């Protein structure tokens, strides 16, 4: 399985177009934020201190959640191409066990997702510091790295379930475009969750990557939130967190970080099982 994983990694990173398009949604978000979204939020909260650092941390957390989805989607393009070009038949005729083949696709997508998230994190931290913010502290960085691993696992299995139904590059490309387009809305980046209708908010709150974004925001925004809202009544901070998707609430019930972690773990295991079932049925 290790050798097959290496092969998939080499195929993905050799195709510069695949790497670029897997990051296209992240580039769009960065571009929109740099052009006007950042200024909009900064101006709307201009009466507070340290707003730029706060909102930079907010957008970076959402960006990491988006990257963990789009890059794993791009990574599974190798599996779709293998099906289209009938390479999968040659692979199946080799002495590699079927389980190792499936594991190779999954693990390579997971590794690609983690690598691209780490690259995004490094570049984002440089951007934050350049704008007057601060680097993540040691404990905070460890938490962020753990959340990247968890988010990428959950999103890898979810994307695998979707991709398992595709046998053509056109269908895969269409799905990638749709997911890349709506992912910014479903993670509350383009429009804050609190500004959306109640029904749409519920859809977002049951979408696993949204919990990835919320957890990352809670960790990465802890210090800037404390500085910006120092001396301000707690209810304003609570309202800001719920509006910006830092914390979720179903009715009168607040979603704790532990519940969000369980949602990511549970969805990851659920989609992994569904993906294996889908792939097994197709083999028949």
List, for residues 178-232, the tens digit of each pLDDT value. Answer: 888 888 888 888 888 888 888 889 999 999 999 999 999 999 999 999 988 888 8
Q: Assess contact for 147 and 262: CB atoms under 8 A.
A: no
pTM of the model: 0.89
- pLDDT of amino acid 284: 46
Q: Assess contact for 134 and 251: CB atoms under 8 A.
A: no
Q: Assess contact for 164 and 221: CB atoms under 8 A.
A: no
Residue 148: which of 182, 110, 188, 99 has the closest Cα? 110
Strand ranges (DSSP E) for the chain? 248-250, 253-255
Neighbours of 123 (CB within 10 A): 14
């Amino acid at each position: 399985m290790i050798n097959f994983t290496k092969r998939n990694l080499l195929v993905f990173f050799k195709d510069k177009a695949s790497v670029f398009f897997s990051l296209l949604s992240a580039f769009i978000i960065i571009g929109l934020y740099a052009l006007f979204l950042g200024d909009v939020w900064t101006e709307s909260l201009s009466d507070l201190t340290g707003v730029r650092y706060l909102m930079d941390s907010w957008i970076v957390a959402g960006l990491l959640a988006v990257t963990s989805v789009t890059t794993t989607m791009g990574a599974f393009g190798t599996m779709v191409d293998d099906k289209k070009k009938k390479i999968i038949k040659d692979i199946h005729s080799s002495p590699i066990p079927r389980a190792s083949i499936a594991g190779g696709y999954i693990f390579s997508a997971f590794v690609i997702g983690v690598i691209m998230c780490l690259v995004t994190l490094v570049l984002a931290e440089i951007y934050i510091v350049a704008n007057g913010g601060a680097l993540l502290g040691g404990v905070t960085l460890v938490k962020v790295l753990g959340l990247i691993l968890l988010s990428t696992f959950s999103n890898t299995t979810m994307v695998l379930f979707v991709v398992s139904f595709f046998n053509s590059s056109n269908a895969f490309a269409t799905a990638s475009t749709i997911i890349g387009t709506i992912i910014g809305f479903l993670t509350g980046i383009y429009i804050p969750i609190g500004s959306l209708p109640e029904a749409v908010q519920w859809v977002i709150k049951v979408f696993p990557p949204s919990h990835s974004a919320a957890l990352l925001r809670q960790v990465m925004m802890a210090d800037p939130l404390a500085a910006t809202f120092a001396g301000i009544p707690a209810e304003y901070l609570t309202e800001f967190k719920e509006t910006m998707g830092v914390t979720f609430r179903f009715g009168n019930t607040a979603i704790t970080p532990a519940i969000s972690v369980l949602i990511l773990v549970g969805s990851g295991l659920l989609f992994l099982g569904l993906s294996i079932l889908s792939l097994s049925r197709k083999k028949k």
